Amino acid sequence: MPDDTAGLIELRAEDFEDVLAGNDFLVINFGASWCGPCRAFRTAYTDTADENRDITFALVDVEKQPELRTAFDVEAIPKIAVLRGGALVFAHEGALPEEALQDVLRQVRELDVEELRRAAAASRA
C-alpha cells in the first residue's frame, strides 16, 4: 500500500480489511483529484492528521476505488468516514472546517471501544 507524501495512506479495496484490522481508529477521506472542494479540504485533513499521529488517516480516490465508494455509500465528495473498533461511528459528506474535524475526533476518542467492537462483530454476523 503506497504512502502519500503527506504521511496519509492511500487506501485500496484489496487492503481495506487488513488496514481496518490493524487500526483501532481510522479516518477515511473520499475524494478525487479533479474535485475543487476535495483539494481545498485536503489542507485541513492533512493538518489534522499531523496533529493526531495516534490515528490512522487514509485517502480514497473514488474513481480508482469504486468498491470502497459503494461500500461507504459515497454520493458526494469530499466525504469523511470515521471508524473506531471496526465500527463506522461518523460519516459526513462535504468539507469540514479543521476545528469541526478535531471536535469529531475528540468525541470519537471518548467512545467505549469494546462496545463498538461487539456491535461491529454482531453486524458482520
User: Pick the catalytic residue: 38, 59, 62, 116?
Assistant: 38
Catalytic residue check, 62:
no
Buried b / exposed e along 23-54 (16+ C-beta atoms within 10 A) = bbbbbbbbbeeebeebeebbebbbebbeebee
User: Pick the catalytic residue: 11, 35, 55, 74?
Assistant: 35
Question: Cα 106 to chain center, whole Å?
Answer: 15
d(CA 77, CA 67): 15
CB 27 within 8 A of CB 82: yes
Report CA torsion sign: 13, 15, 18, 19. negative
Q: How does DSSP classify residue 53?
A: T
Catalytic residue check, 38:
yes
Q: Which residues are catalytic?
A: 35, 38
